Amino acid sequence: MSKIAFVFSGQGAQYPGMGASLAQASPAAKAVFDLCDSIRPGTSAQCFSGTKEELTVTSNTQPDMFAVEVAAAAALTEAGIQPAALAGFSVGEIGALAFSGALSVEDSFRLVCRRGELMQEASDVADTGMVAVVKLPPQRVEELAAQFDQVYPVNYNSPAQTVCAGLSASMGDFKAAVKAAGGRAIPLRVAGAFHSPFMAPASEGLAEELKGYTFQAPKYVLYSNVTGRPYEGPEGYADLLARQVISPVRWQTIVENMIADGFDTFIEVGPGNTLTGLIGKIDPSVKCCNVDSADSLRTTIEEVTNG
């Protein structure tokens, strides 16, 4: 029997119209959007009809991503598909946290709204950007980044993809160095140097915000971006979540550990299929599906239930 994990999408996968058909197809998904609207009016409208530019603003992106991710997960469980573990990529970890029950959906949504505001504020302080480096191993990317002023590896995505963040002034030369080394640097649709030291003010603000939240033991095993391993106890959640925004996302490590722990079916919940693609590159033998629309929901239900 398959051992299922839900993985929650990361920032950069957002797109206009996301979640609209899902809300129409699933009462459980619509209930999530309604809840988010009650806390942050206009969230569902922004997901369903917001422009690409609106959705790229971090203070919008993060709550909007959360809404679509948790709605997709709710639609799956409504259809009888239950995970045994969860993981989320960057902001997706907040969606996973909510779905796990470690924090209520309401509190998790308030938290992700504040996280988005803090990371937007930190992004506005310096001219920074992010690029995905492909065709080079992580160690080589680390060596190249170390040669430039304030360029950092921040997402360890797969054996052949590492994302770097840093000063825009350094990025041109860094991309040239990547090309000279036989790799390729692809600019990402994000508005800051996430998971780098540039996010220190956001981390500090988030640590203060988290003092007002109480965590419970999760209903499902929940893997941490910071450690690549499951969270060990509610008393450590706040520290890990605050550290997460200035720490590299250990996505490859998370997936490898989940597979070692027996997970063989991964369902990406939330916009796009970026994580589905990365997991396939980490281990092509596992089954990967994604849910972000009515069509993909139907397809995934059929694939999982029919084995």
Selecting among 195, 196, 224, 296, the annotated active-site residue is: 195
Q: Please check whether residue 130 is in contact with residue 190, taking contact to mean a CB–CB distance below 8 angstroms.
A: yes
Half-sphere exposure in the Cβ direction for 165 (13 Å, CA): 23
- In angstroms, the CA 196 to CA 179 distance is 23
User: 84, 80, 111, 119: which is closest to 95 by C-alpha?
Assistant: 111
3-state secondary structure 114-142: HHHHHHHHHHHHCCEEEEEEECCCHHHHH
Q: Please check whether residue 236 is in contact with residue 102, taking contact to mean a CB–CB distance below 8 angstroms.
A: no
Selecting among 26, 44, 59, 90, the annotated active-site residue is: 90
- In angstroms, the CA 283 to CA 256 distance is 8
Is 296 labeled as catalytic in the residue annotation? no
Is 293 labeled as catalytic in the residue annotation? no
Q: Please identify every residue annotated as catalytic.
A: 90, 195
